[in-house]
Amino acid sequence: MTPKLRIRRRRSSSRRGEAGPRHYFVGLASLVTAFLLAVILVTGPLILGAARLWVELPLLVVVALLLVIQGLRLTGTPAPDLPRRADAIDLAVLLFVLYAVARWLTSPAGYFSRIEVMDVAAYAGIFFTCRYGMANRRYCMALLYLLVALGVVETALGYYLIDRSDYAGISPQDRWQPHYVSRWMGTYDDPNHYASLLIMSMGAALALGSLSKLAWPARIVLIYGALMMIVGVIYSGSWGGWIALLAAIGALVVVALRNGTMRWWVPVTGAGVLLATAGFLFYMSPVVEDRLASAETLIFEGKLPTEPRVKLAVAALRTAHHHLLFGTGPGTFAFVHPGDHESAFPLRADLVHDDFLNCLDDYGLVGLGLALFFMTAVTLKFFRPLIVDNRWQDRVLVATGFAAWVALLIDSLIDFNLHIPANALLLFSLTGLALGRVQDEKKAHWSTVPLAPLGRWLGVIIAVVALVYGVEVARTALSDHAYEKALARENEASATELIQAAGEALSYDRGNARAWALLGDLHRSEASRQKNSGDRLSESQKALDGYQNALQANSLDGSVQARIGLTLDAMQKYPEALSHYLEAVTAQPDNGQFWSWLAEHYRESGMPDQAAQAEQRAAQCPNGAGESPPPAVPPAAKP
């Protein structure tokens, strides 16, 4: 061997040695990414759809960790197949996130807006991770198998819990809503969002059963599992779920015709048989019979305009008319819609039963336009060819993603799945995985932006932003945990202990509107127990300080205004109290409790005629029995 050849061999072995550690890091990062995704996507559906802050915020912390890992991956030597261009879809996501952050910073409900923007950032991060950070087909398929297993478990739980109306769920305050007891809802406490999860799982099962090259016994089991999930959707009694089910099956047929390897009549016939079977089960279901009877009553007896969903939609359109361009701010509908003087709502609602209307109200035409641009770009992308070396796994991933995408977008016209963290995270994960198997623009194009000039700085930027996001989510989560703990002990702990617990919550997050309101309530209660006038005034002033801080975190909350009025009445500052009561009844004109408090204020102020008028108005109000705490986000009470 010549010296020249020896030198070349040494150089090549040196390159292999350099590639070894990098290859190990990339493999480990991919494994950790898949594991964290599995934790995020499974935990949410099993715990109330992650629609409670005490489970939602910890999940967002895991999302932050996931994004840090993606940033670190990009700081290494870039892989040769790493996309070096951002397309219109990426730009739409980035613009919407930046716009949401800007609306949070200008929102009158800063605390609740911040939580919604955290969700938006998490959805974007999950989407990008699944689109660009899940190149390993085995891990992608493992997530699909896990989704199918999750759907089977939820279907079984829906059947098991149907006759157990006393089931307390994860915590005692999460008992089933009585008007949903007759319907399947699994661990969601809501049949509509339960049905959407089953539809996504069913899409994965049908795609694996019809488009894969698995052994026939396995494919038969998968199709049978999909049929069982269809039963769960039917027995959920969800109108949106039934419509979305048809859309998902239709989307699967489209992908099979476009990217499958079978003749056209095979998927069409299979879909026909599946729909015929579903139709028979639909006809036999007593839940369907009850739902159809209710719909017939609403339509043919002229009661449709009084239906809560319709009234909320009308109120949302009126709100949009007054805040057309930029909206009222993220997460503000719960506080804005009770001020609608043209409707009377028997229940408070935190969201419209329409994700598009909710987006219009919260973000205005600017935000809705960005969202629609993203949806259009994604839908068109689904019709591009698969990547050159496509395999059956690619077809399955695209079919699952397209079925979930079409189904939930249609369902979002009459429900709010995109505001339920578990379902939104699953949808954007499946969409990202699917788009990762579709051809991208490799060369310069008018709709793309080159990323190569950023080099490794792109990874550094992502890692730093993810760390900041993680710290913000973590302190919000710690504060909420302390607040929830104090709230749970409200009837058993001493006032001093509760005040300390509320103070602990505020030590983590000075903007926690709910903790400030609770602290104000505790000091107001203490003031009522004091016999010494000086101590009573001191405690009352502390209550006012807490309420004023709560208003700074959310100036739209009428319940805080009413509590300030109560506190000022106790301090005999009647002229100051009146303005706050009027603010409260303006913010919630249908809250009978606020009108009752105003009537009592008028009596104490020596105005009996005004007191009688306020009492008469309280008697006419459809709700407001009891003091209303600031609402939780995401929704806990739905019409």
For 432-443, write each residue's pLDDT tens digit. Answer: 999 998 876 556
Length of the chain counted residue by residue: 639
Report the distance separating Cα 82 and Cα 256, nearest Å.
28
Assess whether pLDDT exceeds 60 at residue 173.
Answer: no
Between CA 535 and CA 260 the distance in angstroms is 78
Cα torsion through 211, 214, 217, 221, rounded to 10: -60
- Using the predicted structure, report yes or no on whether residue 198 has a pLDDT greater than 70: yes
| pLDDT for 172 beyond 80 | no
As given in the structure block, the two tokens for residue 621 are: 């109000």
243-257 mean pLDDT: 94
The total of other beta-carbon atoms located within 10 Å of residue 33's CB is 20
Q: Does the pLDDT value for residue 12 go beyond 80?
A: no
Confidence tier at 399 by pLDDT (50, 70, 90): very high
**8 A C-beta contact, residue 59 and residue 50:** yes
- What per-residue confidence (pLDDT) applies to 79? 53
How many alpha carbons fall within 13 Å on the CB side of residue 615? Answer: 11
- The band of 306, judged by pLDDT with boundaries at 50, 70 and 90, is confident
Per-residue confidence (pLDDT) for residue 67, from 0 to 100:
96
**CB-neighbour burial class of residue 230 (10 A; exposed 0-12, middle 13-18, buried 19+):** buried
Q: How confident is the model at residue 629 (pLDDT cuts 50, 70, 90)?
A: very low
Query: In this structure, what token pair is assigned to residue 419?
Result: 């505001």
Burial class (CB in 10 A: 0-12, 13-18, 19+), 366: middle
Residue 259's pLDDT band (cuts 50, 70, 90): confident
Q: What is the pLDDT of residue 341?
A: 58
pLDDT of residue 620: 83
Q: Residue 15: its pLDDT value, please? A: 43
Asked if the model's pLDDT at residue 401 lies above 70, the reply is yes
Structure confidence by residue, pLDDT tens digits, 46-70: 998 999 999 999 999 999 999 999 9
- The pLDDT score that the predictor gives to residue 16 is 44
> Which tokens go with 339?
């001020």
From the list 558, 532, 534, 525, the residue with the least C-alpha distance to 629 is 558
